């Protein structure tokens, strides 16, 4: 089968032609819709520089689009695996790709949680919200999110 995927028994869902075709179709659909969508978000938010700085919510959405776009850029590898039933990059590539997927997943979850917390505070504590708009605070929060995601994704590379 593949160095990257070892089935637990004699037959798995990947051994069924219909499952591989369905997975390929979903991955291609996600890439065809997600890459332009995330690309537009990155393009529109990365160039937006208001006089008082980019709002924290916009910065979080920008980083969320970057994290999601990273996984979507890897979909051709997963499509190649599903159609050819062989991993094209070997063991090291397998670990790296799954690490990036886990990194993106953790970053997306943490960024979404931070965005939710920011919106909750903006609604429930409107007088506190202006103090949370500091660019330095945004940089520290984003650094914490990405460092946490980098660390949380390590088991995906180690145990894959």
Sequential DSSP letters for the chain? --SS---SSS--GGGSHHHHHHHHHHHHHHHHHHHHHHHHHHHHHHT---TT---HHHHHHHHHHHHHHHHHHTHHHHHHHHHHSS-TTHHHHHHHHHHHHHHHHHHHHHHHHHHHHHHHHHHH-TTTGGGGG-HHHHHHHHHHHHHHHHHHTHHHHH--
Q: Set out the domains of the chain in order of their start, with CATH numbers.
A: 13-158 (1.20.1070.10)
Number of neighbours of residue 128 by Cβ within 10 angstroms = 10
- Judged by average pLDDT, the poorest of 1-5, 84-88, 129-133 is 1-5
Q: What is the pLDDT of residues 72-120, one digit of tens each?
A: 999 999 898 888 878 888 889 989 999 999 999 999 999 999 999 988 9
Question: What pTM, to 2 d.p., does this model score?
Answer: 0.82
Average pLDDT of the residues of the chain: 86
């Amino acid at each position: 089968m593949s160095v990257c995927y070892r089935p637990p028994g004699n037959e798995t869902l990947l051994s069924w032609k219909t499952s591989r075709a369905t997975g390929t179709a979903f991955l291609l659909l996600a890439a065809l819709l997600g890459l332009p969508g995330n690309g537009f978000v990155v393009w529109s938010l990365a160039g937006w520089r208001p006089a008082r700085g980019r709002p924290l919510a916009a910065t979080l959405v920008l980083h969320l689009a970057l994290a999601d776009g990273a996984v979507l850029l890897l979909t051709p590898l997963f499509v190649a695996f599903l159609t050819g039933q062989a991993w094209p990059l070997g063991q090291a590539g397998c670990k790296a790709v799954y690490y990036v997927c886990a990194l993106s997943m953790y970053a997306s979850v943490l960024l979404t949680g931070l965005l939710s917390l920011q919106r909750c505070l903006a609604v429930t504590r409107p007088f506190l919200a202006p103090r949370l708009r500091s660019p330095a605070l945004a940089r520290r929060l984003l650094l914490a999110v990405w460092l946490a995601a980098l660390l949380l994704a390590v088991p995906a590379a180690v145990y894959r």
